[in-house]
Chain A
Amino acid sequence: MKFWISAAVALILAVAAALTVKNEYFFFAGYVVLQFVVLATAWNILGGYAGYVNFGTGAFFGIGAYTAVLLVKSLGLPLGVQIAAAALVGAALGLGVGLLTLRLRGIFFSIATVAVAIILQTAIFNWRYLGGATGVQILRPEVTPPFDNYIKMLFVVGTLLAIVAVAVARYVETSWVGRGLRAIRDSEEAAECTGVPTLRLKLLACVVSGALMSAAGAPLPMYQSFVEPDSAFSLNYSVSALAMPIIGGTAHWLGPVVGAVLLGTIQQLVTVTISSELNVLVVGVLLVLFVVAAPEGIVGLTSRLWARFFK
């Protein structure tokens, strides 16, 4: 109950901000942070709970963006339909990746996801209709009232997506699905022996995580009003989606959110004040630092300190 109240409050705050705050940059940056909340949360369903490290977040994200481009260019469908379609395509891709890589564990699974990302990028690269290597320009439609600006509307859409993603992750974590996935992470053989349907659970995690990642990519064409394969499939999305949950903490659904908000905000500040190369460096350094020194992440660290000093 507390969760749903906070979710409603967050949504009301986002709408209120969109209707009152004048500074457009706030929404421009805020949307990116929200997009990373969705990506990090989606990554954590497979990476954090089940221990399967996906290096191919960029593939799902890019496919989501290009699904949206395809629907806009061919049929002119609205954003809501684009997001839903992108989620479906992402789910299908997740299922495909899952089926293809079921026998693989650890680094082999991770490398296979990199492979999927590069192959899809190459395919889009050679698809003339979608702009190919040079990219494609997208015209934003008229903004619907009560919003006076398209970016502000995207900000609210991003908030909605983030809430859905976190709710799904929270459900997965607290239900039998999450218990099963954690059993897989700790020992796949033992889980299988005790009757956990490891195969179906892994597929389910792949599908859910893939759908959320692609949904996060769908608004990208509208946000940038331009898409090209190199940036849509960028490895930077993959590394951020992996770094944020690890920095925030992978055991709890709050971890990816904390990591994404913290790291996403730092990235935005660094990009504006110094350079966009440096923000990748920040991600890399923080990732290594946390993996080495604080493997349980910020959420794990704070709850341990809390337990030590206040209980």
Chain B
Amino acid sequence: MEFSFDLLKEALIFGALLGCFYAAVSVGLSVSFGLLDVPHIAHPAFMVLGAYGAWLLGTHGFDPIVAGVVLMPLFFAFGVAMYRFYYETFEKRGAEVGVRGLAFFFGIAFIVEVGLILAFGVDQRMVEAPYIGRSWEIGDMRIPMRMLVAFATALVLTGLLAAYLSRTFTGRAIKAVAQDEAALRLMGVNPVRIKQWAFGIATAVTTAAGAMLIVVGPVDPSMDRIYIGRTFCVVVLGGLGSMSGTLIAGLILGISESLVLTFFGASWAPAVAFGLLLLVLGVRPQGLFGK
């Protein structure tokens, strides 16, 4: 496509909106993988599950974002149970988590994906809301309303989580358990309970992420595969567990994807996240903002 500054401007603005969305779908992983060190490959699968939940509630007249919030407690409980199970079967028995932990979450992701296919079929699902399909016009630019809603939700979600982790007692305990588990134990805190709580929060956040996913575009059960790359790219690029890093990494990914989309075509876009990820892993594995 021919280069023009109008096109560049549009690509940059769209990329920034997309980037915040990517950051928001990755904050859950930033907690579960970045802080707790759990190889949570199934994170995007839960996101898609959350999107289907939002869709299901949407058919009963719920707004998708509201539906995402309503589903949070359910997913929280689910996350707590899953961490408990993971801890009892893998972490408790010593350091040999490696292959088995990875395989476990890989298997879970597949079970979720195929479960959704068996329950709802392979067709794409979408939701209806007053803001979907409309757009906001500034000058000669048109910004889709659905992107703005996702953008606002993303900012609120990331902000709330960042505030929770740095201001509240439990939030700080979660950060502490990531830094030095033994020290936390000496302080009389049970690290497993903190981790369990944190994993619950990380899983609860996936419903909001899923709701945004289905607001931004149609969702199908196999969508988690492409988001494995995007979410891990953002979390690794952002430096494992840093909330501000996650936001900036999301922006970097969103803008580069949008630029490639505009100037090279949609068929190259999936390679952007993974290419960026490989580059970061090869050159600076601790991420842009890691120590």
Binding site for B on A (CB under 8 A): 47-48, 51, 53, 55, 100-101, 103-104, 106-108, 110-112, 114-116, 118-119, 121-123, 125-126, 133, 235, 239, 242-243, 246, 250, 277-278, 280-281, 283-285, 287-288, 291-292, 295
A281 touches B115 (CB 8 A): yes
When distances are taken between beta carbons in the complex, the residues of chain A under 8 Å from B117 are 277
A122 touches B118 (CB 8 A): no
A176: min CB distance to chain B, Å: 22
Residues of B in contact, count (CB < 8 Å) = 38
Closest to A293 in B: B89
Closest to B85 in A: A292
A130: min CB distance to chain B, Å: 14
B102 touches A118 (CB 8 A): no
Total inter-chain residue pairs, C-beta < 8 Å: 121
The 8 closest A-B CB pairs, nearest first, are: A284-B110, A115-B274, A287-B107, A122-B271, A288-B107, A281-B114, A107-B39, A284-B111
Are A100 and B114 CB-contacts (below 8 A) given A118-B229, A291-B100? no
B267 touches A125 (CB 8 A): yes
A187 and B96 alpha carbons, distance in the complex (Å) = 10
A108 touches B285 (CB 8 A): yes
A288 touches B111 (CB 8 A): yes
Binding site for A on B (CB under 8 A): 33, 39, 41, 89, 98-100, 102-104, 106-111, 113-115, 117-118, 225-226, 228-229, 232, 236, 267-268, 270-271, 274-275, 277-278, 281-282, 285
A277 touches B104 (CB 8 A): no
A295 and B107 alpha carbons, distance in the complex (Å) = 14
The dominant DSSP class at the A interface is helix
B56: min CB distance to chain A, Å: 20
A278 and B111 alpha carbons, distance in the complex (Å) = 10
A104 touches B281 (CB 8 A): yes
B107 touches A284 (CB 8 A): yes
Are A285 and B100 CB-contacts (below 8 A) given A104-B285, A114-B229, A119-B278? no
